[in-house]
């Protein structure tokens, strides 16, 4: 019984990191109303930025957030402004332009192959890492310290995003645009600037998720693909556009992946995750916290 509790606890911690990765995706969808297929690749870019920041400066992995967050925000802002905004302008009568999905898919392949070209296929990790391999003893249970740091980082990030959206003038403009971009424009809100900010914010959150993974996860050009699929499943479970739903959906996936292999093969565990995903699509497509409006 003790090992089940231990696996559940570690699954919740890892699931919170999954939820943090999905949070960036749900922020972008909540405003732009399109799925960003390059989200996993953006997380990969964040991991490489964190890796090189730590390697070149020798700082604690979490101090690399000082570099990662602004770099990833600017990267996402420019990506939206240069590649995606022209599509919204040319298809302004379409609420959810399908062309954006095609473009972000292209960005996914470009970023992954560019990383492969520049950094090679080698797996990288930070050797001189104060968090690597650290375990916390709770009675007879062992809890991963890097994942514990990731758990609290996920909660703090979700709280900051919530406060930004609810308490700031810019956040209210973001929520207004997500509800009705035409009405927001009539009130003087520049919807395309809001799109840039939302995309930059979602990309920065992906970068934060990358930082939480660097202390214990290998870094390689296609690492984002593994998390991309999980992020899509999580946002469907939690509800597209829901901040709390992203975290809860991530924890559900984390617990299934952690506890499941104790009773069945890893293949069956993955099958349960996808079966749950399909069940929600058929029975409750709005997700656990999905509502008519996204914020």
Q: How many domains does the chain have?
A: 1
pLDDT, one tens digit per residue, over 129-153 is 888 778 888 777 888 899 999 999 9
Beta carbons of 276 and 65 less than 8 angstroms apart? no
Residue 105 within any structural domain of the chain: yes
Q: Is the pTM of this model over 0.85?
A: yes
Residue 213 within any structural domain of the chain: yes
pLDDT, one tens digit per residue, over 90-99 is 876 666 677 8
Residue 37 within any structural domain of the chain: yes
pLDDT, one tens digit per residue, over 46-75 is 999 999 999 988 888 999 999 999 999 999
Q: How far apart are CA 26 and CA 18, in angstroms?
A: 12
Residue 290 within any structural domain of the chain: no
Q: How far apart are CA 112 and CA 258, in angstroms?
A: 28
Beta carbons of 91 and 21 less than 8 angstroms apart? no
Residue 132 within any structural domain of the chain: no
Residue 293 within any structural domain of the chain: no
**CATH (domain of 278):** 1.10.3470
Residue 66 within any structural domain of the chain: yes
Q: What is the span of the domain harbouring residue 14?
A: 2-121+137-283
Residue 292 within any structural domain of the chain: no
Q: How far apart are CA 55 and CA 254, in angstroms?
A: 29
């Amino acid at each position: 019984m003790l090992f089940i509790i231990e696996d559940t606890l570690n699954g919740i911690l890892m699931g919170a990191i999954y939820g943090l990765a999905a949070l960036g995706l749900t922020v972008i969808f909540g405003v732009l109303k399109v799925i960003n297929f390059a989200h996993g690749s953006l997380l990969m870019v964040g991991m490489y930025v964190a890796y090189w920041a730590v390697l070149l400066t020798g700082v604690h992995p979490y101090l690399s957030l000082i570099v990662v967050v602004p770099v990833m925000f600017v990267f996402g802002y420019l990506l939206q402004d240069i590649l995606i905004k022209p599509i919204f302008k040319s298809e302004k009568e379409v609420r959810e332009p399908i062309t954006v999905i095609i473009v972000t898919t292209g960005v996914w392949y470009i970023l992954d192959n560019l990383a492969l070209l520049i950094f090679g296929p080698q797996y990288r990790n930070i050797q001189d890492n104060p968090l690597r391999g650290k375990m916390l003893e709770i009675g007879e249970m062992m809890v991963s310290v890097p994942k514990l740091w990731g758990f609290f980082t996920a909660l703090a990030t979700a709280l900051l995003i919530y406060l930004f959206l609810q308490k700031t003038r810019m956040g209210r403009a973001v929520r207004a645009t997500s509800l009705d971009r035409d009405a927001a424009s009539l009130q003087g809100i520049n919807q395309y600037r809001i799109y840039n900010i939302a995309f930059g914010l979602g990309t920065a959150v992906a970068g934060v998720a990358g930082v939480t993974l660097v202390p214990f996860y290998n870094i390689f050009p296609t690492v984002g693909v593994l998390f991309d699929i999980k992020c899509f499943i999580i946002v469907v479970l939690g509800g597209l556009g829901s901040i709390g739903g992203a975290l809860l959906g991530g924890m559900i996936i984390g617990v299934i992946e952690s506890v499941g292999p104790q009773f069945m093969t890893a293949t069956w565990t993955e099958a349960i995750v996808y079966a749950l995903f399909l069940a929600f699509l058929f029975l409750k497509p709005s997700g656990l916290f999905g509502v008519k409006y996204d914020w």
